Every structure is written in C-alpha cells, then in structure tokens.
Amino acid sequence: MRIVFFGSPEYAVPSLRACLEHPSAKVVAVVTQPDRSQGRSRKLLRTPVKQLAEEVNIESIFQPEQTNRATTQLLSELMPDIGVVAAYGNILPTHLLDIFPRKVLNVHASLLPRHRGAAPVAAAISSGDTETGVTLMRVVRKLDAGPIIDKISVPIGPFDNTGSLTDTIAQLGADLLTKQLTPWFTNELSETPQNESKMTYATRLTKSDGHIDWTQSATQIDRHIRAVTPWPSAVTTYQNQRFTIHEAWPVPELDTHEVPGTVITGDGSTLTRLLPNRTRRAIVACGQGSLVLLRVQRPGRQAQNIESYLNGDTSFLGSQLS
C-alpha cells in the first residue's frame, strides 16, 4: 500500500515510524507544517515529522500553509492508496480526501466522540476523566467526526500530565496502526458511527490558558496544572513576576482558612501522612482545600523541587500568589 502521511509534532512520530516499518507499506510522501521561527534568534525549526522524514530520505516532503489544490495535484501524481493523519494541524479538504482509494485514517488522541479537537489530552486531564486513549477513525470533512475503526484505552494516573500522557498515547496509536493497516486495506474491518450525543470538544490551548485561578478547588487546580504541562505551563504571579508550578499534589480535605493563593508552611499531621518523605513543604490555600507544591520555577532559573527552592527563598512562605 502506498501511504501519504500527514503529521507535525512529536506525537505523530511513532505513527510515521509504524508506517515506515510496516512490511506491506511504502510512505511515498509526508505532509507537515512549515518550518517555524522560534526563540530570540528566530531560527527556523523543522517539525519532528519532517526531521524523521529527512533522516529516512523520503523524497516528497510538502509543507503548505494550507493544503490547496496544487498540493492535492502533486500528491495525486504519486498514486497513493491511503492517507494517515496524526496531529497534522490542518483540516483536509474534500478534494484531497478524494484522491485516496482506501480513504484517510486519523490517529486521534482521545476516546472519540469525547474530546474532538486540537487539545484532547489536556481536555481529558482537566475534565477529571479516569481514562483516555487513542481512536483510529476514518477522516471526513467534519472535524474528528468520522466513523470509528478501533480504540485503545489507558488510565489517567494522579501524576500524569499532558506531556507524559501524550507520549503514552502516541505509542498506543502507532501500535494500533501496525495492527489495523493491513486489515483496513483489505476490507476486513467495519466502521462504527460516532454517537453525536456524547461529543465534547477540546479547544486549542493558548499561552493565557496557563494562569492559575486560586479561587478554584485544589482538585481543579491540580488538574489544570497537569493539563497545561509542559505547555503553556501553569503560572501564577509571585513578587510581580511569573512563577511556574510544574508539579503539585492536592489535599482537598485540608482547609487552611486563608485567602486563596496564600503560601503557608506545611507541618500538619495530614501532610506528614500523605507525603512522609517531604521535610519542607509549601502549601497554597485554594478556594476549597489546599495544594502542596512539589516542583517550581522562577524566571531565568531551572525548575527545582520545593525543598531546594525554599532553601534559597525563605520569603516565599507567607507570600501571596495571584
């Protein structure tokens, strides 16, 4: 089978590898996002998918801002059988979908129809879902609405964040592709329409989504921190500067009666039971319950565990975060 692969971020790399290593497949082209300038140097960076495509010498690499008819024509000339999508970044137009005799498959990072859209892993964590996973589906013109071919689920652990969980799901997606590409190509698989009544939508994250609202409950804030880690990162304001919280632990039953955002010393018996190996603790009062900080970062410095951070900033205890 001749495959055109559509993908851009690190999430897509295991799926591309699965296509490259499949004994019955040949990747004839890769379509990915354009190189983007980042950082103060404005150096152009390739997508992880492009990096892999160049490493394995795929000759046809396309990077259109939008997938237009010119791109469709060039891809059509390669006589592809099937398209595979994994977090490409653009919706594929009908004129492109129509060039694939065996349709286009999408490796989506949620258990559809829950969490369609651009940030499904973050949405699963912030919503308090106990599990998520990957769905292999056929692409239609409507966003993530095509019929389901297969799924794999995975539990969401208390310390899972979007970064760690995305890595897990990416590999599950690659395994699912390896398992189902040939049966799909030979018409051995059936499709199941999505239940529209159970659909939810995961909007794309922006930098402003990282800000912590301390009036929320400790449970909500913990989910928020994990959902926006590693990007855009969970941030608050300390001494008029951005202050990043990389990891924390919620204690819903601990009510400090302090103003939300107040940092206090944690020496109570409840915390000793929950975190016996923590010799120094910083607890932040929340709208309901409290949040134990575990790993934090000030601007221009490396992330530190809270014990190390407190050794260099004793004024943090008793401060007000906002």
pLDDT at 273: 56
Fold of 2-202: Rossmann fold (3.40.50)
Beta-bridge partner residues of 285: 290
As a whole number of angstroms, the distance between CA 232 and CA 25 comes to 37
pLDDT tens digits for range 207-245: 999 999 999 999 999 999 999 999 999 999 999 999 999
pLDDT at 204: 94
3-state secondary structure of 97: helix
pLDDT exceeds 70 at position 262: yes
pLDDT tens digits for range 22-48: 999 999 999 999 998 876 667 889 999
Q: Residue 297 burial (CB < 10 Å; 0-12/13-18/19+)?
A: middle
Residues of the chain with CATH 3.40.50.170: 2-202
pLDDT exceeds 80 at position 187: yes
- Mean pLDDT over 126-150 rounds to 97
- The kind and range of the H/E element at 245 are strand 241-251
Residue holding tokens 């010119």?
A: 70
Dihedrals phi, psi of 153, to nearest 5 degrees: -105, 160
Per-residue pLDDT band at 272 (split at 50, 70, 90): low
- pTM here is 0.93
Residues 6+ apart with CB under 8 A from 182: 1, 22, 24
Q: Which two tokens stand for residue 322?
A: 């906002």
Per-residue pLDDT band at 247 (split at 50, 70, 90): very high
pLDDT exceeds 70 at position 293: yes
Residues of the chain with CATH 3.10.25.10: 207-316
DSSP state of 173: H
pLDDT at 315: 93
pLDDT tens digits for range 43-95: 889 999 999 999 999 999 999 998 899 999 999 999 999 999 999 999 999 99
Residues 6+ apart with CB under 8 A from 310: 280, 282, 316, 317
Share of the chain above pLDDT 70, in %: 94
pLDDT at 42: 73
Closest CA to 291 of 317, 319, 253, 320: 253
pLDDT exceeds 50 at position 269: no
Mean pLDDT of the chain: 94
Cis preceding linkage at 64, omega within 30: no
Q: CA end-to-end span of the chain, whole Å? A: 55
Per-residue pLDDT band at 256 (split at 50, 70, 90): confident
The CATH code for residues 207-316 is 3.10.25.10
pLDDT exceeds 60 at position 274: no
